[in-house]
Structures are given as C-alpha cells and as structure tokens.
Amino acid sequence: MSDPSITSTARREKRRAHPSQFDLLRERRFAPFFATQFMGALNDNVFKIGFTSLVTYQTAKFSGVDPKTAAFLISAIFILPFVLFSATAGQLADKYDKARLTRFVKSFEIALMAVGAAGFVTHGAPLLYLCTFMMGMHSTLFGPVKYSYLPQHLNDHELVGGNGLVEMGTFVAILIGTIVGGAAAGISGRGELLLAVCCVGIALVGRVAAAGVPATPAPQPKLAINWNPFSETWRNLKLARENRTVFLSLLGISWLWFVGATFLTSFFGFAKDVLSANPDVVTVLLATFSFGIGLGSLLCERLSRRRVEIGLVPLGSLGISVFAIELYFASHALPTQTHLLTIGEFLGHAAHWRILADLFLLAMFGGFYSVPLYALIQSRSAPTHRARIIAANNILNALFMIVSALMAMLLTKAGVSIPGIFLVTALLNVVVASYIYSLVPEFLLRFIAWALVHTFYRIRLVHAERIPDEGAALLVCNHVSYVDALVLAAASPRPIRFVMDHRIFNTRFASWAFRHAKAIPIAPRHEDPEMLARAYDACEAALREGELVCIFPEGKLTKTGDVNTFHHGVTEILTRARPSCRWRCADYGAACFRGTRTRAGRAR
C-alpha cells in the first residue's frame, strides 16, 4: 500500500508538470522570453550575413574593404565583446532583475539597428563595423541573462525541455537569419534598404516580446560591480573552477563551439571547392545542420525522462566523431563536376544525400551533447553566482571559437583540405572527450548505465519522486538480480553511492567502474571487521555530505521476489546518520524482471 499523503502529493505534482516541453510555449513565464531570445538571434544573423554578403559580392560600394578578409574580420569583431565584457555582464545579471535587463538590452538593440540601417543605406563600412561590435556587446549582455533566467522560472523536470527549446530556437533563428540576410543582400539596388528595414523591424518586435517577460528578482542585489573586465574575467574563471564538474562542463560546451565553428565557417568553401555547388547550396547545408541540432535538442527531453541526463553527453560526443569521420570519407566519393551545381542538381545525386545525412546526424548528436551540459551547469551552480558562471562560459566559448578559426587557417595554409580539417576535428574530439571523461567518470558511467538499461529493458518508474533531488538519503532495496544496481543508477535523477560485497567490488574488469562510481565495499564482520568498520564510516561520511547511498540489506539475492531478513548494517548506518538522512525502502526490489519495472516503496 502507498502512503495516501504521498500519493496525493505526487498527483498534484503530475498535474503541475507539463506533459510536453512545447506546452511551455503557452506559459507567460517562458513564451515571451523565448520569443525575445529568438528575435535577438535572428537579428544577429540577418545583420551579419547581410553585411558579409554585401562586402563580398558588392565590394565596389564599400571603400577600404578587402572582400577576402571581410568575413573573418566581421566574425572577429562580433566575438571580441564576449571576451572583453562577459564578466561584467555576468555581474549585472546577478545584481539586477533579469526582466528589466532584458528590456534594456532590447531597447539598446533598436538604437544599434538604427545605426546599422544608416550604414547599410550610405554604404558606410566604418558604421557597419561599429554596429557589428555593438551587436556583439548586445549579445554579450544578454547571454548570462538568457541561461540564468531559466532555472528561476522552470522546475528541475522542465529544465532540460526548456533548454532544448532555447537551443532549437537559436539554431532555427540562425538558419532563418542566414536565408533572409543572404537573400535581401542579393536583391540588386534595393538590398541595402531591405536589410535596414528588416533589422530595425526585428528589433522592434523583440522589444515588444520583452515587455511580457515576467519579473525575475536579482539573486544578489547588493553585489558590488567590478568594472575592470580583465580582473573580473579572471575572478569568474576562478569562481567556475570551484565546482570541478561544472567547470569541466563549461569546457565541454566550449569544445562543442570549437567543433561547431569549424564546420559552420567551412560551409562556403566546402560547397564551392568540394561539392562544386553554388552559394544557394550553402543554405541547404545550413538548414540540414540546423534541423539536426534542433531535433537533437528536442529529443533530449524524451530520452532523459524530463531530467538532467548526463549519460547523453558521451553518446553525443561519440556520434559527433563517428559522423564527422564518415563525412570525410563521403567527401572523397563525390562525382566530378564541370560547373557549379544548383540546388536541384545537387539534390539529384545520391552521393550528396549521404553528405546531408552525415551533417544532419552529426548536428543531432551535437544537440544530445549540449543540452544536458547546459542544464547541468544551471542546476549545479549556486543561484547567487549562476549568471557569472554563464558569463565564464561565454568567455571560454569565445576563446575556443577564436582558436578554432586559427586552427582552420593554419591547416588551410599547410595544404589540408576542408574534409581533412573535418577529420582532424573528429579525431581531436575523440581525444578531448576521452580526457574529460577520465577526469569526470560520472559522465561515462552514467552513459553505460543508461545505454545498457534502455537497450535491454523497458522500465516503468512508479513514485520516482520519492527519491529526493538533493540532500542525504538512504535507499534500502530488495535484491532480485545482479543488475539491480545498474537499473537503479539509470533510474535515479542523481548519482548513487552503492554499498556492495567486497568480492563483487574487486571483480576483474569491473572494479574500475565501481571505484570511479565511488561504491563502498563491505564485508561480514567474521570475514573482515576492519573493512566493515570502514564501510560504516564511508556511509556516514557520504550521508553527512548530502549524498545518496543505496544498500541491499538482505545480503543475498531473493529467489521468490519476497523480502528476506535484513542484516543489521542498515540499522547501524541509520543510527550514525540521523538526523541528517532520509531513507526510502523499495518493497519490490530495484527491478522486478517479470514486469521489468522499478518501484520505490513508501517511506517507513
């Protein structure tokens, strides 16, 4: 029987939870914010792509502009404010109400686009370069607000879905902005005026959307602002390093930006020199890449069961490398062309569909990789300095993107082809991922548990909310199978410290995983009283630190599914840990494999 009070609470929680992440788009706490950030990303790309297209194909109208370096210069000018001002932006987002900051940033955008419109109409390159820098500053100011806003308005079960929608929206905005900016710039005689109208109009729509963003109180209203960007940048990076998992997650996200920037900036050259296709095909490549990222971001919620599932991160990094390597080989199996292909001609070759499939799947796995990392950073960063952690992330992202551009330029000068650059990036991704997972085995172990359980079993969770999201807790479980721990690890929303028999703990080949999972070996008193004492001490210390500990107190597998006699260990652990610990008892085991389900029983 279940506790009626707990059951009614669970029902209320279920009613409050959104059955789909798309339902958030009807909520005032999310929809205006989503529209605001979407319009901002859209305007960034309409402006940048429009400016780049004009100075590349209509150079004569812009004095003092080198078309060969203009694209790199525009990108560098846009990224520079992220390096210089992200630390200051993070402080502002922690000190002031995020709704007020959002409205200020969008009003600032209208003024910037008025300057940009004047630059387009008068063909003033200096004005447009200035506007590019200021748009970079606009995005720098909004970045910490964008990602620290979500945890203040979404609960833990909505965080992954909300991040997925934001990631999807961002890449769709990039795609639409690329198409609109390029198409408008290509209209002879009227392109500049059309770009000016589009940019100002999008900024106005964004400001209207920002008016609906709900109040978001500042977590540190008394924070003293350090206006020195260099010392504050260093302090933010030190602040991020205080939480090792969060800092390595920041590096992981920045690495994805390194990989993504390498591919995205290569698309124009890839289309012309490798695919023998005209500029319109670049739009097809960008659309394919954007749809892949969008789908991967949206699928994260379903695959992770509405929680932060870091097991998807290794899956994402594996898929990125596999399909980047496949893209290299696919690029060497293309038919020879005598002219630049149109979109219709490009899509008429089966070999080109292989290229598109590789790009789509590579991007989709990129979505699997990025969304859980963003959600992990948001959930594990202290609310008092969460925005500054996001600012540190923006700084690292910008630095990694600059290094990406330098690497691509050096490899190109060394005679490496664009597919060769893709291959180098894929192999570097394997090295970087292996290094990160060796430093934080939690990612890899979570992936192994998630993959094995979801491959071989169909799990239905009942009363999963009884496992607390934070704080010390002891799980006391019936033992029906040797994979009970694996199923529990995959089903739990947080890492579990398992107490296990020392013989299993020292099993050859598996001991590495048990040690990195911080399992606690235990032995009967008559076999090794010192190990038993150490196990009790380790359990007490883990619970005092607020961790989740699991023990199978029967000491053996059940043959009938019924609960056997408990050993005295669980009593000893509870006696030591009280009052800091809550405990939960699984009355039908971690997994009843006749029904392949997990069931958390009532608290006793």
Asked whether residue 220 is assigned to any structural domain, the reply reads no
Q: Are 196 and 236 within one domain?
A: no
Q: Contact, 143 vs 390, CB < 8 A? A: yes
Q: Are 186 and 283 within one domain?
A: no
> Three-state DSSP class for 495?
coil
Q: What percent of the chain has pLDDT over 90?
A: 18
Q: Are 471 and 405 within one domain?
A: no
Closest CA to 187 of 57, 297, 63: 57
Which pLDDT band holds residue 591 (cuts at 50, 70, 90)? very low
Cα–Cα distance, 289 to 172 (Å, whole number): 10
Asked whether residue 283 is assigned to any structural domain, the reply reads yes
Which whole-number Å values give the CA distances from 322 to 40, 61, 325, 425, in the listed order?
33, 45, 5, 11
pLDDT at res. 310: 75
Q: Contact, 312 vs 372, CB < 8 A? A: yes
CATH of the domain at 554: 3.40.50
Which pLDDT band holds residue 237 (cuts at 50, 70, 90)? confident
Cα–Cα distance, 296 to 291 (Å, whole number): 8
Residue 121 has pLDDT above 50, yes or no: yes
Q: Are 352 and 481 within one domain?
A: no
Q: Tokens standing for 176?
A: 């639409």
Of 351-355, 465-469, 593-597, where does mean pLDDT reach its minimum?
A: 593-597
Which pLDDT band holds residue 144 (cuts at 50, 70, 90)? confident
Which pLDDT band holds residue 14 (cuts at 50, 70, 90)? very low
The gap from C-alpha 408 to its chain's centroid, in whole angstroms, comes to: 24
Residue 217 has pLDDT above 50, yes or no: yes
Most confident of 58-62, 90-94, 280-284: 90-94
The reply to whether omega before 579 is within 30° of 0 (cis) is yes
Which pLDDT band holds residue 315 (cuts at 50, 70, 90)? confident
Q: What is the pLDDT of residues 342-375, one digit of tens each?
A: 888 889 888 999 999 999 999 999 988 888 888 7
Number of neighbours of residue 20 by Cβ within 10 angstroms? 11
Q: Are 267 and 165 within one domain?
A: no
Cα–Cα distance, 542 to 519 (Å, whole number): 11
pLDDT at res. 367: 87
Residue 439 has pLDDT above 80, yes or no: no
Q: What is the pLDDT of residues 475-532, one digit of tens each?
A: 888 777 777 777 787 777 778 888 888 888 888 777 777 887 788 888 888 888 888 8
Q: Are 434 and 461 within one domain?
A: no
Report pTM.
0.70
Q: What is the total residue count of the chain?
A: 604
Q: Are 256 and 147 within one domain?
A: no
Asked whether residue 218 is assigned to any structural domain, the reply reads no
Mean pLDDT, rounded, of the chain: 80
Q: What is the pLDDT of residues 249-259, one digit of tens each?
A: 888 889 998 99
pLDDT at res. 593: 37
Domain that holds residue 152: 16-209
Q: Contact, 257 vs 320, CB < 8 A? A: no
For the packed helices 67-95 and 31-57, what is the interaxial angle rounded to 10 degrees? 160
Q: Are 270 and 368 within one domain?
A: yes
pLDDT at res. 12: 46
Which pLDDT band holds residue 118 (cuts at 50, 70, 90)? very high
Q: Are 489 and 541 within one domain?
A: yes
Residue 210 has pLDDT above 50, yes or no: yes
Asked whether residue 215 is assigned to any structural domain, the reply reads no
Which whole-number Å values give the CA distances from 596 to 111, 307, 480, in the listed order?
60, 21, 12
CATH of the domain at 334: 1.20.1250.20
Number of neighbours of residue 468 by Cβ within 10 angstroms? 14
Helices (H), 187-242: 191-210, 229-241
Fill in the DSSP letter of residue 460: -
Residue 207 has pLDDT above 90, yes or no: yes
How many structural domains is the chain composed of? 3
Residue 243 has pLDDT above 90, yes or no: no
Q: Are 197 and 236 within one domain?
A: no
